Amino acid sequence: MKSKTALVFLLFFLIRSGFCQVPGISSSNLPLVVINTNGVPIPDVPKIQANMKIISNETGILNKPTDPGNVYDGNIGIEIHGAYSATLPQKPYGFETRDVTGAKLNVSLLGMPAENDWILLANYNDKTFMRNTLAFELFRKLGHYAPRTRTVEVILNNTYQGIYILTEKIKRDKGRVDISKLTNTDIDGDNVSGGYIFKIDYYDASNSWQSQFSPIGYPSKIVNYVYFDPGPAELLDSQKKYLKDAVNSFEAKLYSSDFADKTTGYPAWIDVNSLIDYFIVNEVSRNVDGFKKSMYFFKDRNSKGGKINAGPVWDFDWAWKNIWDCSTFQATDGSGWSYLINDCPDIYPNSNGWVVRLLQDPDFAAALNKRYFELRNSYLSFSYLQSYIDSVQALVSQAQNRHYDKWPILSQPVGAPEVDAQPPSYMGQVTLLSKWIKTRLTWLDGHFPGKSVNSAEPIETDFSYRIFPNPAYETVYIEASSEINEIEVFSSTGRREIYQPGMATFETQLNVSGFSPGIYLLHLKMLGRTAVNTKLIIKK
């Protein structure tokens, strides 16, 4: 009995003394994420049960794998995350924090708002550990939500895995994409109008819908939008129809002759300034995926704005570098446009090409130009970007040695097929990134679209309204930025088909399933405004 007691004390002493260490790491200034699956391999799907602890001691106190989990110590469900990145040796993971019963558990990790869905982004395809975090940081600085991140080191089943980026998963939540939570009871009126997150990404028939429009200049290319949050299995058919009708109707307006009208044109449908900032972040980084994959959009309820927003930004491990993709991204002189990705042969998925059309409006181009050059004096100044690079370099100065002992790839072309020769040191990789950014900004300064107009202002509209779908078959949605007081619909013979007085709403819907095909006049009276008259086309 005494020998067993002595053995227990000896093991306790060894652990506390640091002798029971994880091979490859004894301590770190970075937070440690320690995961134990009890030897069970982590699959693509579904998530498996595991235990995780996160260690982050006070400043100046190194974090050791044997320390208790003072940020988190409990259950998780974990799976491999991503598509192409999941094929690389350093695997990315998605995990959810869980309680003892296996239910999702909202917790705050490393100062980020409490939630249960998280991602560990691998850095095999980013030898600087900062391509994603820099892009996310810029989008946040420009006033939009982007996933928060923390640079960590990961240990899986007592095996060191290297430097990862612990990040928030994109989803509807008060601390993330802060839009309304759509439920299965939200089927009409303001409730059905939001909130939705959708994207351009890899798709199939079960998770997406096909746009009715092809990108400008490419009539044979199709564009699909993916239901993201809620996902396709969660959405009701009526909710899918609403979102599909809203996006298709916006695109119909975008490709119409009066697309730039300030009241009924594209400014009534999309948050223009979010798209401008999305454009800038993805073009500064010349992101090959920025307009064809991982391109997110969201739409909140009409009572909360109701316009389509671009973002959050995501997926920059192929950005901020020269890659052997098509000529646009091979250029070493800083040239080329990501938004023209449809010009590249054999791409998948296709870009919707919205920006190509928007740049045909001089006001949009002027606002884009002004925003870019204003930012060149602040968050897009080379000094600001270099200070961010320097801060990450200092943060990982010790950890990067361990990472590249684990993954000795510094001088090897791995992940994205890079044009430039790969420096054999971490400092060389960082210097290459800095040089790339300076070259890119220099080229953009001389080629940015739009005229430099000091008086150009962000594109906003005091009053706007949306009627869709138009042509309509069964249901017509009417949404306005001012309160609707009265609706009338007249046939081509002058007969009043619908009369709804005494209203006080910002949105409504009309059942036109019994209407004969033809052209009707829709008359709206707004609070404190003159009436609006517009055509409504009914088809069967």
pLDDT tens for 224-244 read 999 999 999 999 999 999 999
Task: Quickly count: other Cβ atoms within 10 Å of residue 512's Cβ.
Answer: 18
Higher pLDDT, residue 42 or 346: 42
Longest CA span, the chain: 103
Give the pLDDT of residue 529: 66
pLDDT tens for 416-432 read 999 999 999 999 999 99
Fold of 465-538: Immunoglobulin-like (2.60.40)
pTM of structure: 0.88
Higher pLDDT, residue 131 or 476: 131
CA distance 282 to 321: 12
Higher pLDDT, residue 3 or 171: 171
Residue ranges of domains in the chain: 2-168, 465-538
Of 30-44, 245-259, 362-376, 449-463, least confident by mean pLDDT is: 449-463
Give the pLDDT of residue 520: 92
Q: Tell me what the mean pLDDT of segment 173-189 comes to.
A: 94
Token pair 């920006």 is at which residue? 355
In b/e form, how buried is each residue of 204-233, taking b as 16+ CB within 10 angstroms? eeebbbebebbbbeeeeeebbbbbbbbeee
pLDDT tens for 312-345 read 999 999 999 999 989 999 999 999 999 999 999 9
CA distance 137 to 436: 18
**In the predicted model, what is the mean pLDDT of the chain?**
92
CA distance 29 to 64: 9
Question: Residues near 279 by Cβ (< 8 Å), separated by ≥ 6?
Answer: 310, 339, 355, 368
